[in-house]
Structure 1
Amino acid sequence: MNELIGQREARVAIVGLGYVGLPLALTVCEAGFPATGFDLNADRVAMINAGARTISYLPEDRVQDAVSRGFSASADMARLAEADVIVICVPSPLSPAREPDLGYVIRATETIAERLRPGQLVVLESTVWPGATATVVKPILERRGLRAGEEFFLAFSPEREDPGNAIFTTRTIPKIVGADDLRSRDLADRFYAQIVARTVPVSSLATAEAVKLIENSFRMVNIAFVNEMKAALEAMGVDIWEVVQAAATKPFGYMPFYPGPGIGGDCIPVSPAYLAARARDVGAETPLVDLARVSTAEAPDLIAGRVAGELARYGGVAVKDARVLILGIAYKKDVEDTRESPALAILLRLEEMGATCDYHDPYFPVMPPTRDHPSLAGRASVALTAAKLASYDAVLVATDHSAVDYALLAAEARLILDTRNAFAARGIGADKARIVKI
């Protein structure tokens, strides 16, 4: 196996072709390995094999180029037996009770276990709590008698994708690699060293698992902090955006975080929950993380309340009688990803308060089915025209996509409530009292 990896002849299978698995699969292919991606979504498999760009921020020809190099996608899990290296990149979301849900990881592992053969290297990249690879994944893989570290090899390497980031990519982001035996770690490290700029080996599976949780818990705590500072400084008549931008000039001891309507995606809302749950299991406490989780979870409700207040203050309209346009339903700018999106939570909360809500998002002509808010599926994005904008009592900027005509909004909308500093950042509408940062 070591020689196959070194010569880039090891056959690589990536299980899960979403926002983590597909960029990884393409990077593996571009590094010269024979690679196959596996996904249960037959439509996605067909689109990838046709060379279609299934993730909008990928370069237009990247999938087609990989297909021309021999990359393919498949829904036939029996073919996993052909692979020398298997990387698991399936979701590990939260349950409806906001607790860790390893269902996808367990099912993927069971599928691999049915085909596992001696000599294979299995790497988990999905977010899990420290100890999960050893106590959940490993026993499933060993059910048929093969032993990890001896007859097959098992490692953990947390994904660090930042969707839409053109600077830090799968190839350039350092890769953490951990295992509980030296042979597994060395094989995994050698594999990733062929496809990324830098690997960072750590001492165990649990250490590697904890790295991801610490990274994202750090981000969530700081987002909760800056949102708290926004409310406090606003009460003092101070602009938090200007304060953060000025503070960011300090070359040490400070890292800028910016306020917003809440957190989204499958990383920042999820990792702290996995960390806190595991801490409780072992009798530890994470009060700071727990408080930040509550604070960020409440952010969409607070924004909805601010919308109601500003409608009454600037427009003289009660929220129950208001028409509100939500600008952007993705969880972050310039991606087609609604997982855990605070925009959707705000939309639903405003409707519960009696408002009539529409949305505009260039990435979602039609609202897709979502894991968190399935009732919204099928709604259509409205066009941004002067006549349409004039029909709304307020426009709420929830996600500041680049492909939006902010000058048109500033000129035509009755009231703009900006959670992202989108207008000031573009030098638009500083003289307009009806553009309000919230």
Structure 2
Amino acid sequence: MKKNKIDIITLGCSKNLVDSEQLMKQFIANGYQIEHDPPIIDGEIVVVNTCGFIGDAQEESINMILELGAAKKSGKIARLFVMGCLSERFMKDLTQELPEVDKFYGKFNWKEMLNDLGKSYNQDLAVDRILTTPSHYAYLKIAEGCNRTCSYCAIPLITGRYQSRPIEELIEEAKILVKKGVKEFQLIAQDLTYYGLDRYKRLALPELVERLSDVPGVEWIRLHYGYPAQFPYELLRVMRERENVCKYMDIALQHISDPMLQLMRRRIKKEETYELIEQIRKEVPGIHLRTTVMTGHPGETEQDFVELVEFVKKVKFERLGAFIYSHEQGTYSHKHYIDDIPQEIKQERLDYIMRIQEGISDEISHNKIGQTYKTIVDREEEDFYIGRTEFDSPEVDPEVLIRKDKQLTFGDFYSVRITDAQPFELYGEILI
């Protein structure tokens, strides 16, 4: 056990990661040594930043807490703190059932941890953080919370009402990150497209993206987690006109049949969804759309699923993920619907969708052979440098495996010609 050292473990999404990065900056300012997701736990204090979105994530968080609780009992660590979405959602139960944890904090009150350790929160560092990502890219969280009322989603129960961060504060944070070497920004929120309505009484995402694109040193801006209803169409002009705004949109659609969209409380209809996709692709030629779809929501019939399959086949999303409905306590679905689709049917439907998508992805990837793309290099492996184009977000999208013909620098951009392809990987060579 190393005195004055804190190990921080982050579970869940990139929004949690940003919280951990901010906490790390505050700990360092207070004289602690910090290690994030260490291979070996050896700090006297351990902080677990948990996920509480769906059952599997909750189980992962609980197992991690139990493992660390056992380490504390055996004297390997001195203190154990838990923060994040799981403790925000189940604070009372967790406090009673896991007494080995010194204290639970929610998603928003983690600053109290500093006071509990006899330290203080430094307001001057409020928009600063220690990056856990490679130094050339970072996640920029533009809001907290969600005002949508989708039937299946527990996020509003955890995060509360939507709270947009001020534009000026986000510009300041981007400038600080650029000074640290960040060139690529992944804009994240529970719902990007709602940004500004609470604070400015208007859809302000287009303005925010345009102003961020004006910050010197910002090479790429990529947008994650849009919502189809009330889409800010002015954003498409910004994407089309600004070279450093990636032609990429992550917009979760979940389903396409009108009965399912109504049961899911998505506030959009099938025809409107098709019109939205058509408009996006018309106004931003070459854009890559990422979406997620859900199988097994209560009430999903075979006909609903057939419509979903036809939707995936027809639209041919450049990026698509799928997940199985989870009957989450406290959600509208949990209160009003019966979880009536057998688990094996949910899984069969998901597997079928993903087999279709693999073929679509293979076709899209092979159409890129012979094309040249601006590519950022993330890391080096034994046989290849690993990079990404503007159409590829870290962790979730395909990568470009670049032949080691030349010495490349991590975080730099290169022109890469695609020489071969697989469904979820591209192969390329550097052009002089």
Under a length normalisation based on structure 1, what TM-score does the superposition of the two structures give? 0.35
Under a length normalisation based on structure 2, what TM-score does the superposition of the two structures give? 0.36
Q: Which has the higher helix share?
A: 1
Q: Highest Rg: 1 or 2?
A: 1
